Chains A and B, each alone.
Chain A
Amino acid sequence: MSLLQINTVDRLDRPSAYYAGKNKRRRDRDDEKEQEDPNSKLHNATTLYVGNLSFYTTEEQIHELFSKCGEVKRLVMGLDRFNKTPCGFCFVEYYNHQDAVDCLKYIGGTKLDERIIRTDLDPGFEEGRQYGRGKSGGQVRDEYREEYDPGRGGYGRAYDEQRAREEEEYGAGR
């Protein structure tokens, strides 16, 4: 392990731009004066958000891979808000902060169930966060997808609806 404060190549265990951006947006809106470091919540974080999973990937598979970085304390599957079926993300909680950080370095960007998965340090799971926030119950990213992804329900669901409506209205319109 390097002992340097500033490294000569980039680090893979930094919080993602998504996390930084999310906090920035919130701060702007609230117009808070305190300029607290948005990453301070992550200093001892033991939880990871894991994304780009297939809907069919099981807890056991996730456990198998993620326990390579340390003992997993808790695993929360991301579920479709309406169907309560897996919708392609999860939270993995470790006992140690270092295990979570190592996971960013060694597991993020590798494959699970033949998909490249994404990991992000997370301030911690809260009840409610296990559900997709998309309009149709899944993750937002699965609403508008133009390419076909068999592991994540095919095309974007918004298009599904649109297509179904068009088909239905086809006869009536004439």
Chain B
Amino acid sequence: MADYERRNHGPRGGGGGGGRKRRYRDDDDFDRRPQRRRYEEPLFVQVRRQLLTIAESAARKVEDDIIGIAKSVAENFDDEELRETFVNISLDLVQEQPMKIPFVAATTLVAYNLKAELGAEKHIDSGSWREVKLVLRFLGGLQPLFEGDGIFPLLEELFARAVDLQTASSEDLLGLELVKVILFTIPYVMSSPATGFETQAMGLLEKTDIIASTPHALVDLVNTFSPEENKEAAGPSVISLLQSQLQGEASRGWELKCLPGVQEIEQDEQDLGQKFFEPVNKVSFPQINVPNPVQNGARPLFPEVYISVFANQEIDTVPPPSDVTSLLLRDALVDTINLLDFNRVATAKYLIDVDCYFTPDTFVKRATPFDRMRDLAGLGQSWKPEDVAVDAVFSQLYQLPTPEHKLVYYHALLTECCKIGPAAIAPSLGRAIRFLYNNLETMDLELSNRFLDWFAHHLSNFGFTWKWSEWVDDLDLPAIHPKLAFINGALDKEIRLSFAQRIKGTLLEPYLPLITEEKEKDTPEFKYLSELTPYSKEGQEIMQLIRKKAGDEEIEPLITAIEEQAQSLGVEDPKVPSTDALMTSICFVGSKSLSHVLSCIERNKERLLAIGPVSQRARCQIIASVMEYWADQPGIAINIIDKLLNYTIITPYSVLEWALSESMKAGTVLAKAHIFEMISATVGKVTNRMRQIVVARTQSGLYEPQLSVLEETLSRERSEMQTLFKFIEDSIVSVAAGSNDELMERGDGSGDLPEDAIIRQWGRRWLRVFRRKVAVEEAFIMDSLANATPVGTVAPMQADDGNDGDIKITDADGQ
């Protein structure tokens, strides 16, 4: 028997020998050892497991889960380990898996017991408002346990703080966040079995109205659609929407259809003749101190806007913004998504299982086809769980100015959802893509670029299959039309993740001309090989020398030769053609791979670095040469530009100059996705550096003389950043207004060419993105500097050896 048992421990059991080598992470995630002798499992482990997986299975009745756990806890309340496990796991779940809060709360209620050390205070102190919201939600669910008004005095206190903040400044966002926390708590209190709190809820709602319904100045800036471009599509802010939804709900007697109530358990109560929800002894609400004034969290706050990629379908598949269900689902899903970024597989599973966590009537069956929804539309309103889940992920992907996590997390999450439930999720994504594509013209430009990036990345995970037939008609649009620009941009991104031939194979015939022969070439032509190119002889020689890794002294005479020729031809700046020959040669010799070109640049670094200070136009030519050489594979070009910026061979300003002045081409350059990408990356480099300096400047314990040094760097960099933004503004504003010289000179100069309107729109969309960036960065600097040590602060006497020092000084005096 002993021998037999040992085998079950498998390769890990120390038995040694045999067994599979565990080489991959996967092997760790799924331990497939047969589990025997489970009866030995201690009760607290069992409760732990049951609690962690509460409501997860559609096969089990959640009421049974709740009652089962609660019974174990109640019957074994003397077991300290069990009690601790129960309290800790409950609180952990509350803070990580918000969708389970109502069930955990119900369990706690049934178990009749509550430990008051809930940790809410810690979060309030640190400004972790999401965590505050979740703990409050849990406490709200426990309302029947509490004496008196329970949670309401705490909500009132939070509201008082919000009022203080709002009175102090109309631009305040923290107060709005507090109101949001309060508003999102109310429905959960009202759906708990506690009764008779309608007056308190109503009172609170009346008070929050004035704050929640006043539109914040920044809402327009972070809207998915610029109200200027598309007034109808521009969504309302989450907080004003929630306020009106709750008021509607209040007038209907707090129906709150989607929140899992406890009716089923009440049914069981009657069956069993047992009362689960009437606590024998009410406890007082835990004492929670709200600091005054309250603190901002680590993440900068911005207003949130409600967006749905399933808006305006012929049949609603997600709850409309008028229904409180929309925000309650969205809020719980978004918190789940953002809290569990460390395991996208688990998150995807919770998203797919969303129907387990709300009332059964909220959703239709999983994977119900869109056409079937038509038939169901008449029979009471139920929503498509996949659409609701996908919508929540997109709301984060399209969060402005930035979502909580890197965009690639949301990409990966959608990929994972698609892997778990391809048949259910893929059609939802298809409809989402259609919505986004059809709204490309008026969507915020930063978001349409996020869409582009996601789209290509997503397809790369699924064999690059897409129904290209849908968009065939759009191929006749002008090249600068946002839709055709999207198609071109997406194909380029696909190629970057794969290769031209492969992508060609996934396309329909009408699209093939978009992937030119040049795009399929690994090594683009070296233009100096053609006799027709000016300076072709010198160009070729320079290239040969660079290939041979020749020294600078060998290259120099050829550079001079080009410059002399240029001079005699009357070229304004002879450094421009010589720089072109040098940089084009570097690109050609290094065309094999990124590391090849990098080592080429590295070898010629001194020469390249010397160009900029001598001639600004030649510095611009470095960029022009790279962009020209890699014109058909712009991804490689902007990568090289990025590295050249790191080497400080070119400056951020020169990149902007090249793109927005030299190659503006009457504004048509604004339609190119890779130009936007390059400019965004360049500006991002500058703002990141700025932020690092701000962080350095505001660290605590900093004294003179470092303070002055940092302050000087900061103001210098800040003014450079402002110059950069001003250049963007000035270059684009003329395009947006239609007063760009080149734009005016096109055609008959009337500005009425069909494409002129499109170009002006591109201009407006660019302006919006960079004006927002200015606002966000300036806000960051202002907020950070508010708490910085002022310049001139001198280090206090050090406490440690301060005493010693003092004594010595007195001693010295005394002598």
- On A, residues with C-beta under 8 Å from B are 1-4, 6-13, 16-18, 21, 58-61, 63-65, 68-71, 75, 77, 102, 105-114, 118, 120
CB–CB A105/B341 < 8 A: yes
Q: What is the CB-to-nearest-CB distance from A126 to chain B, in angstroms, rounded to a whole number?
A: 17
Q: Which of A61, A102, A110 contacts B415 (CB 8 A)?
A: A110
CB–CB B344/A106 < 8 A: yes
Q: Which of B339, B340, B412, B463 contacts A107 (CB 8 A)?
A: B412
Q: How far, in whole Å, are A170 and B582 apart by their CA atoms in the complex?
A: 59
23 A-B residue pairings within 8 Å (CB atoms): A3-B95, A3-B128, A4-B96, A7-B96, A7-B343, A9-B97, A9-B343, A9-B346, A10-B29, A11-B342, A16-B24, A18-B22, A60-B636, A63-B594, A65-B497, A68-B411, A68-B457, A70-B406, A102-B406, A105-B343, A106-B344, A111-B460, A113-B497
Q: How far, in whole Å, are A2 and B97 apart by their CA atoms in the complex?
A: 10
Q: Known: A2-B339, A10-B29, A16-B28. Is A68-B95 also a contact (CB below 8 A)?
A: no
Q: What is the CB-to-nearest-CB distance from B83 to chain A, in angstroms, rounded to a whole number?
A: 18
CB–CB A60/B412 < 8 A: no
Q: Does B408 make an interface contact (CB < 8 A)?
A: yes
CB–CB A106/B406 < 8 A: yes
Known contacts A60-B594, A102-B408; can you find 13 more A-B pairs with CB under 8 A?
A2-B340, A10-B346, A16-B25, A21-B22, A59-B593, A60-B496, A64-B497, A65-B497, A70-B406, A77-B595, A106-B406, A106-B411, A111-B460
CB–CB A1/B341 < 8 A: yes
Q: Known: A17-B28, A68-B406. Is A2-B95 also a contact (CB below 8 A)?
A: yes
- Chain A residues with Cβ below 8 Å from B406 are 68-70, 102, 106
Q: What is the CB-to-nearest-CB distance from B524 to chain A, in angstroms, rounded to a whole number?
A: 14
Q: Does B209 make an interface contact (CB < 8 A)?
A: no
- Chain A residues with Cβ below 8 Å from B339 are 1-2
Q: How far, in whole Å, are A174 and B663 apart by their CA atoms in the complex?
A: 75
Q: What is the CB-to-nearest-CB distance from A16 to chain B, in angstroms, rounded to a whole number?
A: 5
Closest 9 CB pairs of A and B: A68-B408, A9-B346, A11-B342, A106-B412, A111-B461, A59-B593, A64-B496, A59-B594, A106-B408
Q: How far, in whole Å, are A117 and B344 apart by their CA atoms in the complex?
A: 16
Interface mask (B609-643 → A, CB under 8 Å = 1, otherwise 0) = 00000000000000000000000000110010010
Within 8 A of A (CB), among B427-473: 457, 460-461, 463
CB–CB B92/A68 < 8 A: no
CB–CB B408/A69 < 8 A: yes
Q: What is the CB-to-nearest-CB distance from A150 to chain B, in angstroms, rounded to a whole number?
A: 13
- Chain A residues with Cβ below 8 Å from B220 are none
- Chain B residues with Cβ below 8 Å from A21 are 22
Q: Does B407 make an interface contact (CB < 8 A)?
A: yes
Q: Does B52 make an interface contact (CB < 8 A)?
A: yes
- Chain B residues with Cβ below 8 Å from A118 are 24-25
Q: Which of A7, A61, A63 contacts B342 (CB 8 A)?
A: A7
Q: Does B404 make an interface contact (CB < 8 A)?
A: yes
Q: What is the CB-to-nearest-CB distance from B732 to chain A, in angstroms, rounded to a whole number?
A: 26
Q: Which of B89, B96, B345 contacts A12 (CB 8 A)?
A: B345
- Chain B residues with Cβ below 8 Å from A106 are 341, 344, 406, 408-409, 411-412
